[in-house]
Amino acid sequence: MLGSIAKLLELYPDAKVVIEPSSDPHNYNFLISGQWVTIKKDHLSNREKFLLSLVSQDNNNKSINNQWWNFLVHETDKIPAEKINVRVLQFEVQKLESDDRANEWLSVFEDTFDDVVDSFWINKYTGILIEKETNTNMDKLEVQRMIELVDSDFYTKSHVYVGQFWPVNDKLPNIFDMERQLFHKSLEMKERVNNLSTVILDFLIEQNLKNTDMFKSLKNKIDIDSKTTQMINTLYKCDSNLAKTSKMLFLHRNTLLYRMEKFHEQTGFDLKDRDDLVLCFLLLK
C-alpha cells in the first residue's frame, strides 16, 4: 500500500493534489492523508482504483472518535444499539467554504429526516447519517428532491448513497464495507442520489459479490417462496409488462399487483421499479 502522497505522485506523475475533488467525469478522486488527489481514470485499472479507495478509507478511520463509526469500520466489537434496523446514508458535499458552513449543512440535512440515530463528518467533504427504520422513511426519489433543495440553499454539489436497512448486529460492519465501496462507485455516476439498485449493475462488472454477507443477507430477504421467485423471473423476462406477465403466470392483473405490493412491504423492493426488479432477478441467480 502507498505510504504517502509523495509516493503516490512518484508512481503516478500525472496525479495532482487539489483543494477539492475534480468534477471532471474523466478524473478519479482520492482522499489521502486529508488531501484530495485527482488522477485521470484511463490511467488506472479497476484494481488500482479499489486499492487507492482503501488507502483513503484507512487514513480517514484513524481520526474519527464516534461509537457508530468505530463499530462500522471494525475498530470495536461493541454494538451501539440493539433490536433496531438502520440504514447508512453516505454523502459527499463539494463547495463548503468552512467548518461552520459544513456543520450548518449537516444540521439542515439531518433535520429533513425523522428518525436520525447519528450523523457526523468523516472528513472535510464526506459524512455519514444513520437512520432508524420506521414507516415514514424517505425513498430514493424523496431524498433526491430534498438534496436538490439543500444544494440550492447552500450553493453546494452533493452526492448521496442511500443504504439498505439492516439489523444492528455483528454482520453490519462487513455489510458496511461493501456499502462503502458502492458509495465510492456511485460518485462516478451521473445521478446525485443513488442506492444499491442503481449502482449494483456497474459494480458487478468489477466485483464478485456472491459470497459476501451483504448478498447472502439480501438473497435470504427476497427468496421467500417458489411463487415469488417465479413472479420475479417472469416480470424480468417480460420486461416489466404486467399484462404479459399476468398471462404467463395465469393470474389476474390485480392479483399480480397485490403480490407485488406485498413483496414491497416485506422486503422494501418495488418490483415496478426497473432497477429494483433487476437487482432481485440477479440475487436469485
pLDDT for residue 61: 47
Cell of 31: 482522499
| Residue range(s) in the chain whose domain bears CATH number 3.30.70.270 | 67-208
> CB within 8 A of 47, min separation 6: which ones?
none
Convert the pLDDT of each residue in 217-274 to its tens digit. Answer: 888 888 778 889 899 999 998 989 999 999 999 999 999 999 999 999 988 899 999 8
Whether the predicted model's global pTM rises above the 0.85 cut: no
Half-sphere exposure of 238 (CA within 13 A, CB side): 18
pLDDT for residue 259: 93
CA atoms of 202 and 204, how far apart (whole Å) = 6
Residues pairing with 181 in the sheet:
none
Task: Give residue 157's identity as a one-letter amino acid code.
Answer: K
> CB within 8 A of 275, min separation 6: which ones?
197, 198
pLDDT for residue 1: 38
pLDDT for residue 10: 75
| Residue range(s) in the chain whose domain bears CATH number 1.10.10.2840 | 223-283
CA atoms of 101 and 61, how far apart (whole Å) = 23
Query: Cell 447472502, residue?
Result: 216
Output the CA–CA distances (angstroms, integers) from residue 228 to 196, 232, 237, in the order listed. 21, 6, 14
Quick one: which of 281, 285, 178, 162 has its CA closest to 233?
Answer: 281
pLDDT for residue 58: 47
Q: Which fold has domain 223-283?
A: Arc Repressor Mutant, subunit A (1.10.10)
Beta strands of the chain (E only): which ranges?
16-18, 27-32, 35-40, 85-94, 116-121, 126-132, 157-162, 166-167, 193-195
pLDDT for residue 247: 92
pLDDT for residue 201: 79
Low-confidence ranges of the chain (pLDDT < 70): 1-5, 18-25, 31-35, 46-47, 49-63, 205-211
CATH tag, 67-208: 3.30.70.270
